[in-house]
Amino acid sequence: MLSLGGKTVAVTGGAGLIGSFLVEDLLALDARVVVVDDFSTGSPAHLAAVSGRIELREGDLEAPGVAARCLDGAQIVFHLASRAFGVGYGAKRHLEICLHNERVTNNMVEALAARPPEFVLTVSSSCVHRDDGPDTFPELPVYDGEPERVNSGYGWAKRFMETKFTMLSQVAGVPVAIARPVNIYGERYRWRGTNSQAIPMLVHKVMSGMDPVVIWGSGRQRRNYMHAKDCATILRRLVEANAAGQTVNVGFEDTISMADLVTAILAATGANVRTVFDTTRPEGRFVKSANSTRLRSIIGEVAPKIGLRDGLVRMTDWFRGLPEEDRRPLHG
């Protein structure tokens, strides 16, 4: 076991959806937390409750020298920073997304090789998997076919990241664990309008009064979803369990169809609107869930503490607190 209490722990992307929950988790262990963020997707509001207990090192990890400065003195590093949007944004920007994330990866690896910390956990994505793979996927080899088509730029970038962090471990002797979250949602999402991801997009459509609610794809596509707070806890536990050398799915086997997800959102909000499925829009792979056998073998029995129903209630409460301009109806 690896104790995080009293350690200097850096969290890149620490003001983001998962990162901000992870920061709170680490503070509860009495870790000295350094948050690295440029607030391009994260928000200072996510850290407001703990702002006096963290060290904030603001900087764009794409820029040369920023990673070295921001990671200075870190004993443990959680690398969550990346540029990821919904499939609507990525459809025409695969190269842009890949290059952005590649620049971040290269700068991070160079900085960590120059000053090796005690442990690194880097966050990849289930987008590295091929579309025609098993519905409930194990930790497949990183270059098993093409990555998820609707997120190919991001998927390739995460494949390259996994490869480079593995090489970092081999060459510099840095213990590295790789986590592959599946579909993470939560109320600290940084709103991105029509380019938002599935759950925040659907919550927005329902609560802004769109009628009918347009759902991308057939509605039969199925996903496993996990709240960001549960994801953050699992990431922390993987480091505590010293999962060096492991690539681990952060997700579970159970799924919900997009149609049933919309029904659950309607129940959470009390809204009464029609739904329309637009099959001309991309829906990604048909079923997306994770085999959790390896995860459980490393950290023991684990189950989400925030079920989907409670998570959606948290999302609707979050939506009501958004600025008025972010609560206006969207189209498409």
The pLDDT value given to residue 7 = 98
**How many whole angstroms separate alpha carbon 11 and alpha carbon 71?**
9
* Consecutive H or E run containing 240: helix 228-240
Can you give the pLDDT at residue 169?
98
Pairing, β 119-123 against β 184-185: unpaired
Dihedral sign for Cα atoms in the order 211, 215, 220, 221: negative
Q: Which tokens is 222 given?
A: 């199925």
For the chain, count helices (H), then strands (E).
10, 15
286 vs 75: CA distance, rounded Å: 41
247 and 180 Cβ atoms separated by less than 8 Å? yes
- Position 193 scores a pLDDT of 59
Residue corresponding to tokens 């970038």: 157
* H/E run at residue 156: helix 152-172
| pLDDT on residue 223 | 95
Q: What is the pLDDT along the chain (332 residues), one digit of tens a residue?
A: 899 999 999 999 999 999 999 999 999 999 999 999 999 989 999 999 999 999 999 999 999 999 999 999 999 999 999 977 665 665 678 999 999 999 999 999 999 999 999 999 999 999 999 999 999 999 999 999 999 998 899 999 999 999 999 999 999 999 999 999 999 999 998 766 556 678 888 888 888 888 888 888 899 999 999 999 999 999 999 999 999 999 999 999 999 999 999 999 999 998 888 999 999 887 778 899 999 999 999 999 999 999 999 999 999 998 888 888 778 876 54
Q: Which candidate, 13, 32, 57, 9, places its Cα nearest to that of 240?
A: 9
Can you tell me the distance from the alpha carbon of 75 to that of 171, in angstroms, rounded to the nearest whole number?
A: 18
Domain spanning 8-185+225-250: CATH superfamily: NAD(P)-binding Rossmann-like Domain (3.40.50.720)
pTM for the structure as a whole:
0.94
Q: Tokens at residue 25, please?
A: 């988790």
Positive or negative, the CA dihedral 211, 212, 217, 219 is positive
Strands 119-123 and 76-79: parallel
**Following DSSP, what letter does each residue of 88-113 receive, concatenated?**
HHHTT-HHHHHHHHHHHHHHHHHHHH
Q: What is the pLDDT of residue 196?
A: 66
pLDDT value at position 92? 74
φ, ψ at 213 (rounded to 5°): -85, 120
Q: In this structure, what token pair is assigned to residue 153?
A: 């730029």
Question: Domain boundaries in the chain?
Answer: 8-185+225-250, 193-223+255-286+308-327
Q: Does domain 193-223+255-286+308-327 have CATH number 3.50.50.60?
A: no
- CB-based contacts of 227: which residues, under 8 Å, 6+ apart? 184, 185, 186, 304, 306, 311, 314
CA-CA distances (angstroms) from residue 68 to 10, 19, 113, 256, 270? 12, 20, 10, 42, 49
Radius of gyration of the chain (CA): 19
Domain pair 8-185+225-250 / 193-223+255-286+308-327, same fold: no
Neighbours of 275 (CB within 10 A): 18
How many angstroms separate the CA atoms of 36 and 111, rounded?
A: 14
Tell me what pLDDT residue 326 has.
Answer: 77
**Is residue 170 a contact partner of residue 244, using CB atoms and an 8 Å limit?**
no
- pLDDT at residue 192 in the model: 62
